[in-house]
Amino acid sequence: MSGDYLLPRIASPEDPLRLAVLISGGGSGLRALLRYQSDGPRNHVTSLVISDLKSAGGLSHASDLEIHNLAIPLSQDLKGLERRKEHEDRIMEALVSNDIEMVVLSGYMRILTPTFVAEWKGRLVNIHPSLLPEFPGAHAQRDAINARVKVSGCTVHFVDEGVDTGTIIEQRSVPVLPGDTVETLTQRIKAVEHELYPKVLDDISSGRIST
């Protein structure tokens, strides 16, 4: 991994790494992570959940467990880069005021600016529903089906300035079956995502990932 990734501290169950999870949708990955964290002593805890959409169903998974959660929508008044910057400034404020140590993208469907990435590089991870570098972008499952590949899967990676280009941490494969639709492949991939992401967060927060 290149030298400009600054990894988080090595944490312990007594002093777990404080995560913010960013979502945009139903949050099944968030729910799986929260279950995992409440199932035993872990080196990481979800201290904050942020959605860019007020309507994101996933916010209720946090509310159910009384975890601090916020919708931070885009401004209706600003446009372009100014709008992105103002949005990320508000996210950054929430991260800082909640003493967040690492940012976990879990179905967060916005591209972060290089300024934001630079602040968090090495402490900013994403899960993507393909075996990167194959099928980056917002339609990974559709692209895998259209390419007629027999195997796809998911990737957890550090986020860099590109789209789904950061250093790969770990991947899991699933078969792509004849007759698969985007929906059936999505569900098969989610099942392995829900096991992989908590495990990778264990590895990072325990110092088992090195540069």
Residues annotated as part of the active site: 128
Residue showing the smallest CB distance to ligand GAR in the complex? 107
Binding mask 152-191 toward ligand GAR (x if CB under 6 A, else -) reads: --x----------------------------------xx-
Q: How far apart are CA 108 and CA 112, in angstroms?
A: 10
Q: Which two tokens stand for residue 1?
A: 């991994």
d(CA 54, CA 44): 26
Closest CA to 52 of 8, 13, 101, 90: 90
Beta-sheet pairing, 124-128 with 151-158: antiparallel
Burial 156-180, CB ≥16 within 10 A → b, else e: bbbbbeeebebbbbebbebebeeeb
Q: Could you give the string, one character per residue 43-82, with x where binding to ligand GAR holds by CB under 6 A and - elsewhere?
A: ---------------x------------------------
What part of residues 88-117 is at the interface with ligand GAR (CB under 6 A)?
106-107
193 binds ligand GAR (CB under 6 A): yes
Size of site (CB under 6 A) for ligand GAR: 18
Binding site for ligand GAR (CB under 6 A): 23, 25-30, 58, 106-107, 127-129, 138, 154, 189-190, 193
